[in-house]
Amino acid sequence: MLVRGGAVVAVDDVGTVHDPGWVYVRGNRVAEVGAGEPPSSRLAQAGEVIDAAGGAVMPGMTNAHTHLFQTMFRGLADDKSLLDWLRDCIWPAAIHLDAEIAHAAALVGLVENLRGGATAVIDHQYIHTDEGINDAVCRAADQLGVRFLLAHGWADRNYHPALEQTADQAVARAEAARSRWDGHHDDRIRVELAPLIPWGCSDEAMRTTVAAARSWGRGTHIHCAETAVEVDMSLEERGVRHVTWLDSLGVLGPDLQLAHSVWVDDDELDLIAASGSVVVHCPVSNMYLASGVAPIAGMRARGITVALASDGPGSNNRQDMFEVLKATVLLQKVHHLDALVLQPADVLQMACRGGAAAFGMPDSFGALVEGQRADLLVVDLRSPFVAPVHRIPSALVYNATPRDLRDVVVDGRIVIRDGALVAVDERQIMARAGDAARRLFDRAGISTRVTRNRS
């Protein structure tokens, strides 16, 4: 495959931009990147050619923390704090989720991710009311061709009884998913373990699941210090803050993804930096739930790897990585009253290369450089929302929206071409999701516009 004619934004170590440039893909990997017009030999060898003229070619982004089942929950309970939102919005309906509904939700959620610039997705999947849900979600990822990490979520205490699991149950269920999906399609689909929240996880269960994940060569994903209330709960019960607690259990390390990390102090930041753990920043969700502003500047000053994410559609209500790019920069600027605190090139690094680190595959994708997996986007720079373009990284971060996304390639395969999904019928997916949402909320006895509108 040859992508030619557009400005190539490599997101490499030196911020290379070839304007114009080209990317040659062999199999599922980037074989060569160059400036100007491609050699005639490359054009002759290419099985497919994407004309990126008038566009920017950039690495695909990673949505490093979401909850795909919440596609059915977007807008259900706005204007609530995190714990009230869980109690009033998530739990009453989530306990009625089954594999068929989860599959429908995952298809819509992953289509949204692809259209929002995410070629890789980490799904913190903690609803296990049907033993087939993990498989259903992975099947949706396989159908759409997205790069996917199933983070099997669990809580063994203080959570809704129907949603709790023991450590042994969590490991067994994750093992079942691993046996079918882990390493699928040359590592395009992976499985790891994901304790839900510190207040929902016992010390012993944490040790058990982290040890299991490490024995598989996989990571651990956890919500961390999302709200001040949760940190206070930890101080009251355990006498330590979240990161200090994780450190005491030996959990910190490059294989740990810390979702949110809003209410962390300087000592905790030092622990994260020393361990090489990855922070996953969810700025839109943090604003939506009024959780707080993560200390991204302090993280960057310490060399902490930061990835970006939408969080679940129930607390965003979108999975749009272009929105996340812009929100990340603007939130830090207004919080610090410093226009220079974060720049477009910085957040592109977070969304692309930071996301690959969170996925557990640093330097395997996230940059358009020779040898990396061929995950890339072509973004229209001539649309009314973007043009005229003076600086390409600025246009990608501050201007681009999903409607400007022309082409998406994952693992060397075109999944969106000229704005249309290649392998699936999007209208069918949306119609099926509407039916599934009605069944879910009818079953839960929750009356909304979805259940009242049968047309």
For the segment 304-315, what is each residue's pLDDT rounded down to a tens digit? 999 999 999 989
Q: Which amino acid is at 272?
A: I
Contact indicator for 129, 95 with CB cutoff of 8 Å: yes
Once rounded to an integer, what is the mean pLDDT over residues 89-103? 93
Residue 417's SS3 state is strand
Query: Residues with Cβ < 8 Å from 43, sequence gap 6 or more?
Result: 2, 4, 49
Residue among 10, 84, 432, 97 at smallest CA distance from 288: 84
Provide φ and ψ at 429, rounded to 5°.
Answer: -60, -45
Once rounded to an integer, what is the mean pLDDT over residues 160-165? 94
Estimate to the nearest angstrom the gap between the alpha carbon of 191 and the chain centroid: 14
Q: Where are the domains of the chain?
A: 2-59+368-421, 61-359
Contact indicator for 386, 380 with CB cutoff of 8 Å: yes
Once rounded to an integer, what is the mean pLDDT over residues 102-112? 98
- Binned at pLDDT 50, 70 and 90, residue 171 comes out as very high
What b-and-e string marks burial along 385-402, b requiring 16 or more CB atoms within 10 Å of the CB? ebeebeebbebbbebbbb
- The Cα–Cα gap between 22 and 51 comes to 10
- The Cα–Cα gap between 183 and 216 comes to 11
pLDDT at 80 > cutoff 80: no
Query: Residues with Cβ < 8 Å from 297, sequence gap 6 or more?
Result: 332, 336, 341, 342
Tokens at residue 110, please?
A: 């992953």
Once rounded to an integer, what is the mean pLDDT over residues 247-254? 98
Tokens at residue 70, please?
A: 């919440």
Q: Is 301 exposed, middle or buried (0-12, 13-18, 19+ CB in 10 A)?
A: exposed
H-helix or E-strand containing 281?
A: strand 278-281
CA angle 210, 216, 221 (to 5 degrees): 40
- Binned at pLDDT 50, 70 and 90, residue 448 comes out as confident
* pLDDT tens digits along 110-136: 999 999 999 999 999 999 999 999 999
Side-chain half-sphere CA neighbours of 8 within 13 A: 27
- Binned at pLDDT 50, 70 and 90, residue 352 comes out as very high
Question: Which whole-number Å values give the CA distances from 304 to 66, 162, 328, 355, in the listed order?
Answer: 21, 37, 16, 13
pLDDT of 454: 67
- Does the structural domain 61-359 have CATH classification 3.20.20.140? yes
Contact indicator for 173, 152 with CB cutoff of 8 Å: yes
Query: Residues with Cβ < 8 Å from 178, sequence gap 6 or more?
Result: 191, 216
Tokens at residue 257, please?
A: 């993804």
Paired with 148 in beta bridges are 121, 189
Once rounded to an integer, what is the mean pLDDT over residues 260-266? 99
pLDDT of 382: 98
pLDDT at 455 > cutoff 70: no
From 29-38, 122-131, 445-454, the region with the lowest mean pLDDT: 445-454
- Binned at pLDDT 50, 70 and 90, residue 272 comes out as very high
Contact indicator for 110, 338 with CB cutoff of 8 Å: no
What is the spatial order of strands in the sheet that 61-66 belongs to?
Answer: 61-66, 118-125, 147-154, 189-195, 220-224, 256-260, 278-281, 305-308
* pLDDT tens digits along 191-228: 999 999 999 999 999 999 999 999 999 999 999 999 99
The percentage of the chain sitting over the pLDDT mark of 70, rounded to a whole number, equals 100
pLDDT of 447: 87
Contact indicator for 365, 373 with CB cutoff of 8 Å: yes
pLDDT of 332: 99
- The Cα–Cα gap between 78 and 88 comes to 10
Q: Helices 99-115 and 133-144, interaxial angle, to 10°?
A: 30
Average pLDDT across the chain, whole number: 97
pLDDT of 131: 96
Once rounded to an integer, what is the mean pLDDT over residues 402-418? 98
- At the second CATH level, the architecture of 2-59+368-421 is Roll (2.30)
- The Cα–Cα gap between 59 and 378 comes to 9
Tokens at residue 104, please?
A: 């429908």
